[in-house]
């Protein structure tokens, strides 16, 4: 049985290329976004292709490093590259992204070094990165929680007057990422209410990868997220999450609308989690390999390459150069991961509050004293 209670030939779904990368004609669904795709240059296409390939390679390296005992866990984005790169490249520098834990492709587009992602899953860098360095918030493992963080941040952006000024450097949008499972959380639904009633500059980006660990879509909702958002007063768009042109175009428009003061949009990117939920999961226990094979044919990189070859956006030399770069990035981050120093343990107390906090300070002192009690006994 194919999961997902609405099929992927839904006429409401925005698509620009088919599974082979052949450009599709104008439809009522894709028409509002067609001009954005028309304006994309060969250079844009090459940038997106490079992102897709590098991100997949970084992900494969994360998976391998976990299997070799270098990481505690790795949640693979395999299959979701187009959804994430389309969203990531539609963001502007001043925009702010609030990810879950699988958004390695968005992290890449924001400029977060992949080494930081590895360090987080190695457990050596206390959360991973400085959120404000790239306007990319920390990974959030508590499902749906980041939707409320994003709603609050977006309400703040609006209160600061950084919406609808017409200044392209100032007007700011916020993007919140979660999965199909996340839509069942209270936090998610509360965030929709806040964003709607405040007309906050927030784009909800739902990667419907069909599964929430072992739970299929029909355990999460009876009305798909893009339709349900309309009941909250938020326009909902369904996009083919494996079509990089479509995800980019839909995100561009939603973010532009948010920045110009038109309020929130919800985007449901219809995609598929090709791998396990995380390295701790075995999906053969709950889904069929036939289903996975159907989605393999919709592979986003194959699609993008087909499109580029058909339109002369890249030649063999370009595609080979991207593969070489992917090998280099993989070698670099592997080496970085294997040589990461363990942190000084008390540093885990340092970034809990902005200012010193007496309870945290007492806990830190107790922790340090406890560890010092082992000196001379082979302890640290
Ligand atoms: C509040 C909360 N409940 C349960 C979990 C356990 N959990 C981790 S991932 C996950 C499924 C999330 O599915 P989805 O939102 O579809 O995201 P995906 O993993 O498919 O990207 C669950 C239930 C959690 N991390 N947080
Ligand atoms: Mg999911």
**Cα 239 to ligand 1 centre (Å):** 22
**Ligand 2 centroid to 222 CA: how many Å?**
15
With 0-12 CB in 10 A as exposed, 13-18 as middle and 19+ as buried, what is 157? buried
Structure tokens at 352: 């809990």
The stretch 265-270 carries a mean pLDDT of: 98
Q: What secondary structure letter does DSSP report for 342?
A: P
Residues whose CB falls within 8 Å of the CB of residue 290, separated by 6 or more in sequence, listed in order: none
What residues are paired with 240 via a beta bridge? Answer: 270
Domain boundaries of the chain, sorted by first residue: 31-338, 344-380
Q: Worst-scoring range by mean pLDDT, 78-82, 164-168, 225-229, 371-375?
A: 371-375
Could you tell me if 236 and 140 are in contact, meaning their C-beta atoms sit under 8 angstroms apart? no
- Which segment of 42-46, 201-205, 336-340, 348-352 scores lowest on mean pLDDT? 348-352
Q: Which of 212, 216, 275 to mutate to test the pocket of ligand 1 (most atoms within 8 A of CB)?
A: 212
Q: Is the CB of 263 under 6 A from ligand 1?
A: no
Cα-to-chain-centroid distance, residue 3? 22
CA 211-140-171 angle, 5° bins: 105
Closest CA to 2 of 297, 292, 209: 292
For residue 178, the ligand 1 atom closest to its alpha carbon is 15
Q: Is 335 a catalytic residue?
A: no
Token reading at 17: 């290329």
- Express each pLDDT in 113-162 by its tens digit: 999 999 999 999 988 899 999 999 999 999 999 999 999 999 999 999 99
Give yes or no: 273 in active site: yes
The pLDDT assigned to 9 comes to 77
Distance from the alpha carbon of residue 212 to the mean position of ligand 1, in angstroms: 6
Which single residue is written with the structure tokens 């992102």? 51
Query: Residue 168 has what pLDDT?
Result: 96
Residue 171 above 80 pLDDT? yes
Tokens of 78: 């395999």
The response to whether residue 104 sits with its C-beta less than 6 Å from ligand 1 reads no
Note the pLDDT of residue 8.
64
Is residue 102 within 6 Å of ligand 1 at its C-beta?
yes
| Mean pLDDT across 303-319 | 97
Atom 12 (ligand 1) nearest CA: 212
Tens of pLDDT, residues 313-356: 999 999 999 999 999 999 999 999 999 999 988 888 988 898 99
Torsion of CA 316, 319, 323, 324, to 10 degrees: 60
Q: What is the DSSP letter of 22?
A: P
Alpha-carbon distance 124 to 44, whole Å? 36
Is ligand 1 within 6 A of the CB of residue 220?
no
141 lines ligand 1 (CB under 6 A): yes
Assign 1 a pLDDT band (cuts: 50, 70, 90). Answer: very low
E-assigned strand segments in 130-287: 174-179, 202-208, 211-212, 215-216, 236-240, 265-270
267-287 burial: b if 16+ Cβ within 10 Å, else e: bbbbbbbbbbbbbebebeeeb
Which of the listed CATH numbers 3.30.200.20, 3.40.50.300, 2.60.120.10, 3.40.50.970 matches domain 31-338?
Answer: 3.40.50.970
- Counting residues of the chain whose pLDDT is more than 70, the rounded percentage is 97
CA 96 to ligand 2 center in whole angstroms:
22
Residue 357 known to be catalytic: no
- What's the 3-state SS for 77-93? CCCCHHHHHHHHHHCCC
DSSP symbols for 134-193: HTBPPP--STTHHHHHHHHHHHHHHHTT-SSSS-TTT---EEEEEETGGGGSHHHHHHHH
């Amino acid at each position: 049985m194919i999961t997902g209670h609405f099929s992927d030939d839904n006429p409401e779904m925005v698509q620009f290329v088919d599974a082979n990368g052949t450009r599709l004609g104008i439809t009522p669904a894709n028409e509002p976004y067609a001009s954005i795709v028309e304006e994309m240059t060969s250079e844009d296409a090459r940038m997106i292709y490079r992102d897709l390939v590098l991100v997949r390679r970084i992900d494969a390296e994360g998976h391998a490093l976990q299997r070799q005992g270098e990481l505690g866990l790795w949640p693979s984005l395999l299959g979701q590259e187009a959804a994430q790169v389309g969203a990531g490249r539609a963001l502007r520098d001043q925009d702010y992204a609030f990810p879950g834990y699988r958004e390695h492709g968005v992290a890449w587009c924001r400029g977060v070094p992949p080494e930081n992602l590895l360090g987080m899953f190695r457990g050596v860098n206390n959360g991973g990165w400085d959120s404000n360095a790239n306007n990319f918030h920390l990974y959030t493992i508590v499902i749906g929680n980041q939707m409320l963080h994003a709603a609050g941040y977006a309400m703040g952006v609006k209160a600061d007057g950084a919406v609808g000024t017409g200044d392209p450097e100032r007007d700011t949008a916020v993007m919140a990422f979660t999965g199909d499972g996340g839509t069942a959380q209270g936090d998610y639904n509360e965030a929709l209410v806040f964003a709607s009633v405040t007309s906050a500059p927030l784009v909800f980006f739902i990667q419907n990868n069909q599964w929430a660990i072992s739970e299929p879509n029909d355990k999460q909702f009876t009305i798909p997220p893009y339709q349900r958002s309309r009941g909250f007063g938020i326009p909902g768009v369904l996009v083919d999450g494996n079509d990089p042109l479509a995800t980019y175009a839909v995100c561009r428009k939603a973010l532009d609308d948010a920045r110009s003061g038109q309020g929130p949009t919800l985007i449901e990117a219809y995609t598929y989690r090709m791998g396990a939920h995380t390295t701790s999961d075995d999906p053969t226990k709950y889904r069929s390999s036939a289903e996975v094979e159907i989605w393999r044919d919709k592979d986003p990189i194959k699609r993008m390459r087909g499109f580029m070859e058909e339109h002369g956006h890249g030649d063999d030399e370009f595609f080979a150069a991207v593969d070489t770069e992917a090998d280099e990035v993989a070698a670099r981050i592997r080496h970085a991961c294997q040589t990461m120093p363990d942190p000084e343990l008390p540093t885990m107390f340092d970034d809990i509050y902005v200012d010193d906090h007496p309870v945290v300070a007492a806990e830190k002192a107790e922790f340090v004293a406890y560890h010092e009690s082992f000196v001379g006994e082979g302890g640290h």
